[in-house]
Chain A
Amino acid sequence: MNLFSSLIKKNGPIIGTYLLIAIIFWFIFLIIIPQLYMVDLSFRPNLSPLERGGDKDFYTLEHYKHFLFGSAGSNNYFNVVDISVFFKTIFISIIVTILNLLFCYPIAFYIAKVAQPNSARFLIIALIIPFWINELLRSFALRVLLANEGVINTFLTQIGLIDTGLLFITNNVGLYSGLTYAYLLLMMFPLYNAIESLDKNQLEAAKDLGSSTFWTHIRVVIPHAKPGIVSGCTMVFMLTVGALATPVVLGGPNTLWFPELIYQWFKMSNNWSRGAAYSFLLLIISVIFVLTMMRLFKVRIGEIIK
């Protein structure tokens, strides 16, 4: 209440009311209530609209049980499919994040510290252009290259290197390279901003004191760029773990990405509460990852997203 009256006092009645309405609308109606309701739904059985609020509408753990143990009729004790998809998604996302960091670091360093201002500007523009193009279309571009009768396969067959097409899509090569390709820029810019703020004199001092290029990076550049690295890694991991567009375009016939599993429960099986339960699991993983990164590297949440 104190907050409200002070807002009105500071901004006058008209602007104060506008601020209040906008904030409440956003926080309460768009962020908090929908999330809470989704969590609530995930603990309820899947009911038709008519049955809601009736006898069958009670709290249950059935969806989380299904994630762990599968449906009653299955042979395995655990729900091997869903659990393996879940951990595979997390594992691959971590690999993709690390790869992104390794790929982007030299470029970010080059643009921030080595390149001339004009060519740095040009390189930044060249980086931005591909990422203004829709994620779906970028994945589609990879699909054109990697499809079984795609550009790479026809090329390789024509020059006689292989007889039959390589199964890039079926073997998930397409999916993994697509995921790595998709969020490169979100690693690049935090890294670039962090390295850019490093004083060039420090690099020269390190060099004068006899440090090799490798140790200069380990001891000077990387510690300085830590907030950027954490921020980039968090963004890339979150987006990869929650990616839906790239798996839709590039996923093999037998592979599932965890958000695709959610999509299937939600859209195809029409089991909304189970979809909500699986989404909640995804949310928990994301929150755990962010908190771990904050603890591990001792950064505040404000430094992760700027």
Chain B
Amino acid sequence: MSNRLINYSLIFYIITFFVFLFGPLIIMSITAFNSADFPRISPWDCLSFRWFNEGMVDYVGQHQAGLLTDQKLKEGFYNSIFIGFFVVLLTVPIGLAAALVLTQINPKLRELFYSLSIMPVLFPGVIIGISTVVLWNRLSGLSDEGILSEVGRNGIFLTILAQTCFISTYCFLIFVARLQRFDRSQEEAALDLGATQTQVFFKILLPYLAPAIGSSAVIAFLASFENYNTTVFSILSDRTLTTVIASKVRLGITPAISALAFAIIVITVLAVIIYEFYKRRVDRLKKIEEQTLLASQSSDSRVQKIEIPKINFIKPLSFFIIIAIILSILFTQVLKNNLYGDACIANVEEEKKRKIEEQRKLEEEKFKLSEEDLQSGNKGGNSAFGDIFNSDLFEY
């Protein structure tokens, strides 16, 4: 009895945990579709996609950029991709080399070598950024001209170096894990048969390590793309996607960032689903291969009857259909109540302007009252500040 209670409370806890994990992300995604200039759900203004496209022009006439029209965001995005590309080019060979050396080094040195290799991950990210910048600033200060002083002050170059420092460790760990299962006798056989060491490396080791190369490249790119702590120091006057986001959030939060986050969430979920399907297919093919192999080797007729499990498409399909139906119902309701489109936005904005106007009139009336007070001499004058409060400075 008590066991069942424990089980139920465990399941309840797990559900709560996942609600807290996903809740903020889902609510943030919803705010991206609200036309209001502050990321919020209630009061809901209109359903709109403007934070993905053009953004809005607010009452003061200031343009708040949306996702696609934000130049800084675009520049940061391209820089991030550029940096990520070069980081992959550097970290994968470095991680591979370090992992290979680890397998060949004598056991006394191995512990030291391993400690040194994983040290960058244990350093706080800010420190790696700072140390790279101070070193290269000094180096570039040594000469007035030439390539050293150029690259030493180039934020993108420094960021590539700083990120390479610790991302190499991730690649290193992936390669070490794969190399642990490597059969050394393959190498020896090839050498005995007269292959050169270079041939062994390219024809045996690299093909064996190919999956690890792929996954470490992906991990390295992602780690580089989303790094902030190191990049913010090493990037100097340039910008990457993360530093742009951070400086935007610092200034105040806008739904444009919600829109960006929503885009990233969608891409992530799609990537995970595709990867999962791919993996299941590979698993299934493997199973089929094993079954046929087993069947061909065995004369027992029972073996051949084993059915190959098929992927159950019906469950996810019905799930998607239900979601699609709910979404379409919601959307028709939204259209019916005139909650979507330019007319709705115009309405809401008109409403807001009216409210502000009312507020202003109210204030003005208050002000008039105080003017009377002034004439009767009850309160002090307000011309002491050069009448600045009467001027047009605060007009919209």
Contact = CB atoms under 8 A, between A and B. Distances in A.
- Bind each other: yes
Interface of A: 3, 6-7, 10-12, 14-15, 18-19, 22-23, 25-27, 30-31, 33-35, 37-38, 41, 49, 52, 103, 106-107, 110, 114, 123, 125-130, 132-138, 140-145, 147, 149-151, 154-155, 158, 181, 184, 213, 234, 238, 241-245, 248-249, 259, 262-263, 266-267, 272, 275-276, 279, 282-283, 286-287, 290, 300-302, 305-306
Contacts of B212: none
B118 interface: yes
B382 interface: no
A213 B5 CA distance: 12
A136 B164 contact: no
Given A128-B272, A141-B24, A266-B233, A106 B94 contact: no
Contacts of B269: 129
Contact of A37 (B25, B96, B135): B135
A151 B27 contact: yes
A249 B222 contact: no
Q: Of residues A31, A127, A287, A300, which shows the largest number of chain B Cβ atoms within 10 Å of its Cβ?
A: A31
B120 interface: yes
B13 interface: yes
A49 B124 contact: no
Contacts, number: 254
A238 B133 CA distance: 22
B134 A272 contact: yes
B127 A38 contact: yes
Contacts of B28: 137, 140-141, 144-145
Contacts of A263: 126, 232-233
Contact of B125 (A141, A244, A290, A301): A244
Nearest to B205: A15
Contact of A242 (B111, B127, B177): B127
Contacts of B173: 305-306
Interface residues of B, number: 90
Contacts of A154: 40-43
Contacts of B127: 35, 38, 242, 279, 282-283
B131 A34 contact: yes
Given A12-B198, A136-B246, A263-B232, A49 B118 contact: no
A270 B256 CA distance: 31
Given A25-B94, A244-B229, A272-B134, 13 more contacts: A6-B104, A14-B198, A30-B120, A37-B138, A128-B272, A129-B268, A130-B21, A136-B249, A244-B232, A245-B228, A248-B250, A276-B130, A279-B127
Contact of A140 (B94, B119, B261, B272): B261
B243 to A, nearest CB: 9
B14 A140 contact: no
B257 A137 contact: yes
11 contacts: A11-B104, A11-B201, A18-B93, A23-B97, A136-B245, A213-B3, A249-B249, A262-B130, A263-B126, A279-B130, A290-B122
Contacts of B121: 305
B390 to A, nearest CB: 31
Contacts of A130: 21-22, 25
Question: Main secondary structure on chain B at its contact with chain A?
Answer: helix
A107 B268 contact: no
A253 to B, nearest CB: 12
A133 B268 contact: yes
Interface string B1-35: 00100110010011001101111110110010000
B228 A136 contact: yes
Interface string B101-132: 10011000101001110111111111110111
Given A129-B269, A133-B261, A283-B123, A144 B39 contact: yes
Contacts of A267: 232-233
Contact of A106 (B10, B138, B276): B10
A141 B123 contact: no
Contacts of A128: 272
B198 A242 contact: no
B161 interface: yes
Contacts of A15: 197-198, 201
For the complex of A and B, the 6 pairs showing the least CB-CB separation, nearest first, are A242-B124, A12-B197, A22-B97, A34-B131, A141-B24, A38-B131
